[in-house]
């Protein structure tokens, strides 16, 4: 059920008492931080000064992708390699509950960002790290990006049509999955600190996250020794479940249980299929799936998509249209769920961004994001003033390039 537009302030959100220092780049780390920022955490994002900024893989900060990643954060441009920049960083660490980073191990050491180094500054701090392949091991120094990990975790091998080669999933699934798992790990570490007073190092990687995400396909190998293969739009182990022809396009249908199968046949006047000996039992339906799918196509192609949806769902048979992304956001249920919220940007105006999918009965979603994605360094002066620097000190740091 969609929440009402209650005027919730950041200070009223569940994570408002926590300060988060976001040192991450690319996508996975910012996804983890976004989870915290959306639920009220006070996030300071450290961006490199313009002279050191080699560009973000997600595009310019005012683009849709970066706005969606970095809303509800404040930005400080800081040269971490300069003595004054390192001093500011230490002060930021001292006041932070969580520090999020995805640097290589040697870079962490050089910048003073290992967990042991952070503990000396702030014993209660939680260091949250994300990497491509883990913090140690033979691949720990390798660069890891989404597509490489999709291939190495086995996901590409089970995606796509049989015999047509591996296929990349159409979203940055390993980046976003690792980011979500790191966000969960941070919350676990905060809960642990509530009981013990201790900070800790929480970390995950793209490869660990995606091996976990394989779920039943992974367990088919670890438990049964079975290596899953591509099945296209068909379910790997259940039938009928897949994509079928409608008179006006394609439709997804799942009729895998005995009750669903009977409901499917009755709703579409296909009782001959129900009586077919090959389709009486689930195992037999799976064994004869190619012929079953052809027989179902012959039936479903007599109906428009809307009619299939209207007939099958009331019969207890899951059925849905296949949308493009624009159609998905315009769907009546998605509109009801209000999956977007506006953010006011000083240049772009009101922009619609995707809200958190988590719904809390005690804390409705705010009707708008309290901050749009900031330009790099947009809040540098304000953040430095919060640390106790006066105008003269800030001007001096700007003059020497430590701050921008």
Active site residues: 175
Token digits for 32? Answer: 């983890």
Token digits for 274? Answer: 């129900």
> For 48, which DSSP code?
-
**What's the Cα-to-Cα distance from 154 to each of 135, 136, 165, 212, rounded to whole Å?**
21, 21, 12, 11
CB-based contacts of 82-91 (< 8 A; 24+ apart in sequence):
82/400, 82/401, 82/402, 83/402, 84/397, 84/400, 84/402, 84/403, 85/397, 85/402, 85/403, 86/111, 86/112, 88/384, 88/387, 88/397, 88/402, 88/403, 89/46, 90/121, 91/387, 91/388
**How far is 21 from 11, CA to CA, in rounded Å?**
18
Q: Is 59 left (phi over 0), alpha (psi -120 to 50) or beta?
A: left
Q: Which of 222, 223, 127, 129 is nearest to 181 (CA)?
A: 129
- The residues near 350 (Cβ < 8 Å, ≥ 6 apart) are 342, 343, 344
Vertex 174 angle, CA 172 and 176, to 5°: 65
**How far is 210 from 150, CA to CA, in rounded Å?**
8
**How far is 10 from 8, CA to CA, in rounded Å?**
7
Helix extents (H) in 112-172: 115-121, 146-152
Q: What is the dihedral of CA 37, 41, 44, 47, to 10 degrees?
A: -20
Q: Which of 8, 96, 57 is nearest to 356 (CA)?
A: 8
**How far is 27 from 178, CA to CA, in rounded Å?**
10
**How far is 399 from 393, CA to CA, in rounded Å?**
10
CB 353 within 8 Å of CB 369: yes
Residues in the chain: 404
Sign of CA dihedral 278, 282, 288, 289: positive
């Amino acid at each position: 059920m969609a929440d009402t537009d209650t005027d919730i302030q950041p200070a009223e959100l569940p994570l408002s008492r926590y300060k988060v220092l976001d040192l991450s780049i690319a996508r996975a780390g910012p996804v983890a931080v976004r989870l915290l920022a959306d639920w009220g955490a006070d996030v300071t994002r450290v961006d490199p000064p313009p002279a050191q900024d080699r560009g973000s893989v997600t595009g310019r900060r005012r683009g849709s992708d970066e706005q969606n990643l970095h809303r509800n954060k404040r930005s400080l441009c800081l040269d971490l390699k300069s003595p004054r920049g390192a001093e500011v960083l230490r002060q930021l660490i001292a006041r932070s509950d969580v520090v999020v980073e995805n640097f290589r191990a040697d870079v962490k050491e050089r910048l003073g960002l290992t967990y042991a180094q952070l503990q000396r500054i702030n014993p209660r701090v939680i260091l949250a790290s994300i990497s491509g392949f883990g913090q140690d091991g033979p691949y720990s120094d390798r660069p890891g990006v989404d597509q490489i990990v999709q291939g190495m975790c086995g996901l590409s091998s089970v995606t796509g049509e049989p015999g047509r080669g591996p296929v990349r999933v159409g979203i940055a699934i390993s980046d976003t999955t690792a980011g979500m798992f790191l966000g969960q790990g941070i919350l676990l570490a905060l809960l642990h600190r509530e009981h013990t007073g201790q900070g800790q190092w929480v970390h995950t990687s793209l490869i660990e996250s995606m091996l976990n995400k394989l779920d039943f396909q992974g367990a088919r190998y670890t438990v049964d020794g079975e290596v899953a293969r591509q099945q296209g739009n068909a379910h790997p182990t259940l039938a009928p479940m897949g994509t079928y022809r409608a008179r006006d396009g394609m439709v997804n249908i799942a009729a895998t249980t005995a009750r669903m199968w009977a409901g499917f046949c009755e709703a579409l006047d296909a009782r001959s299929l129900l009586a077919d000996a090959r389709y009486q039992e689930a195992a037999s339906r799976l064994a004869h799936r190619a012929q079953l799918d052809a027989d179902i196509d012959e039936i479903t192609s007599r109906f428009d998509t809307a009619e299939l949806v209207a007939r099958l769902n009331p019969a207890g048979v899951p059925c849905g249209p296949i949308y493009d992304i624009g159609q998905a956001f315009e769907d009546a249920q998605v509109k009801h769920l209000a999956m977007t919220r506006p953010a006011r940007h000083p240049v772009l105006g009101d922009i619609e961004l995707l809200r958190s999918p988590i719904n809390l009965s005690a804390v409705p979603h705010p009707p708008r994001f309290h901050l749009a994605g900031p330009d790099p360094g947009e809040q540098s002066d304000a953040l430095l003033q919060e640390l106790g620097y006066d105008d003269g000190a800030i001007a001096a740091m700007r003059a020497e390039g430590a701050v921008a």
